[in-house]
Amino acid sequence: MAPKTGEMLHLRGNALNAGEPVALPLTQSSMYHLPGVTEGLATYGRVDNPTWEHLEHVLAHLEDAPCLIFPSGMGAISAALFATLKAGSRLLIPSDGYYVTRVLADQFLSGLGVSVTERPTTTFTEGGFDGFDVVFVESPSNPGLDMMDLPAIAASVRAAGGITVADNTTLTPLGQRPLDLGVDVVVASDTKAMGGHSDLLMGHVASRNAQIMEQVEDWRRVSGAIPGPYEAWLLHRGLETLDVRFDRMCTSALVLAERLAEHHAVKHIRYPGLPGDPSHTLAKAQTTRFGFLLSITLETEDKAETFINSCPMLRPATSFGGVHSSAERRARWGDDVDPAFIRLSVGCEPVEELWQSIETSLNVL
Ligand SMILES: *Cc1c(COP(=O)(O)O)cnc(C)c1O
Which domains does the chain carry?
Answer: 5-13+25-239 (3.40.640.10), 242-363 (3.90.1150.10)
pLDDT tens, residue by residue, 104-163: 999 999 999 999 999 999 999 999 999 999 999 999 998 999 999 999 999 999 999 999
Is the predicted pLDDT of residue 242 greater than 90, yes or no? yes
**Cβ of 115: how many Cβ atoms within 10 Å?**
17
Ligand 1 atom closest to the Cα of residue 319 is: 1
pLDDT tens, residue by residue, 63-75: 999 999 999 999 9
Q: CA-to-CA distance for 68 and 204, rounded, in angstroms? A: 5
At 352, the pLDDT band (50, 70, 90 cuts) reads very high
Main-chain phi, psi angles of 311, to 5 degrees: -75, 120
Task: Tell me: cis bond preceding 140? Omega within 30 of 0 counts.
Answer: yes
pLDDT tens, residue by residue, 182-228: 999 999 999 999 999 999 999 999 999 999 999 999 999 999 999 99
Q: 171, 286 in Cβ contact below 8 A? A: no
Non-local (6+) Cβ contacts of 228 within 8 A are 71
Q: 121, 92 in Cβ contact below 8 A? A: no
Q: 276, 287 in Cβ contact below 8 A? A: no
Q: What is the mean pLDDT of the chain?
A: 97
Is the predicted pLDDT of residue 294 greater than 80, yes or no? yes
**What is the distance in A from the centroid of ligand 1 to the CA of 169?**
7
**What is the distance in A from the centroid of ligand 1 to the CA of 93?**
15
Q: In whole angstroms, how far apart are CA 161 and each of 96, 131, 158, 187, 233?
A: 25, 8, 5, 20, 38
Query: Ligand 1 test: best mutation among 142, 189, 292, 320, most atoms within 8 Å of CB?
Result: 189
Is the predicted pLDDT of residue 1 greater than 80, yes or no? no
- pLDDT for residue 334: 87
Q: 48, 42 in Cβ contact below 8 A? A: yes
Q: 126, 140 in Cβ contact below 8 A? A: no
**What is the distance in A from the centroid of ligand 1 to the CA of 188?**
7
Ligand 1 atom closest to the Cα of residue 97 is: 13
Three-state secondary structure call for residue 355:
helix
Q: CA-to-CA distance for 170 and 99, rounded, in angstroms? A: 14
Residue ID of nearest Cα to ligand 1 atom 1: 189
Instruction: Name the DSSP class of 123.
Output: G
Q: How many residues appear in the chain? A: 365
**What is the distance in A from the centroid of ligand 1 to the CA of 121?**
17
**What is the distance in A from the centroid of ligand 1 to the CA of 36?**
42
Instruction: Name the DSSP class of 361.
Output: H
Over range 288-292, report the average pLDDT: 98
Residue ID of nearest Cα to ligand 1 atom 6: 73
- pLDDT for residue 343: 96
Amino acid at 107: Q
Q: CA-to-CA distance for 265 and 365, rounded, in angstroms? A: 8
Q: How far apart are the first and last CA of the chain?
A: 45
- pLDDT for residue 132: 98
**What is the distance in A from the centroid of ligand 1 to the CA of 161?**
28
Q: 40, 167 in Cβ contact below 8 A? A: no
Query: Ligand 1 test: best mutation among 70, 72, 81, 100, most atoms within 8 Å of CB?
Result: 100
**What is the distance in A from the centroid of ligand 1 to the CA of 189?**
5
Q: Is the pTM of this model over 0.85?
A: yes
CA-based torsion, 116, 123, 291, 285: positive or negative: negative
Question: Taking CB atoms and a 6 Å cutoff, what residues make up the pocket around ligand 1?
Answer: 72-74, 98, 100, 138, 142, 167, 169-170, 189, 191-192, 201, 203
Ligand 1 atom closest to the Cα of residue 74 is: 9
Non-local (6+) Cβ contacts of 306 within 8 A are 365
- pLDDT for residue 2: 84
- pLDDT for residue 335: 86
**Cβ of 336: how many Cβ atoms within 10 Å?**
13
**What is the distance in A from the centroid of ligand 1 to the CA of 353?**
29
The candidate with the shortest Cα–Cα distance to 201, out of 189, 217, 213, is 189
- pLDDT for residue 206: 98
pLDDT tens, residue by residue, 23-37: 999 999 999 999 999
**What is the distance in A from the centroid of ligand 1 to the CA of 187?**
9
Residue ID of nearest Cα to ligand 1 atom 11: 98
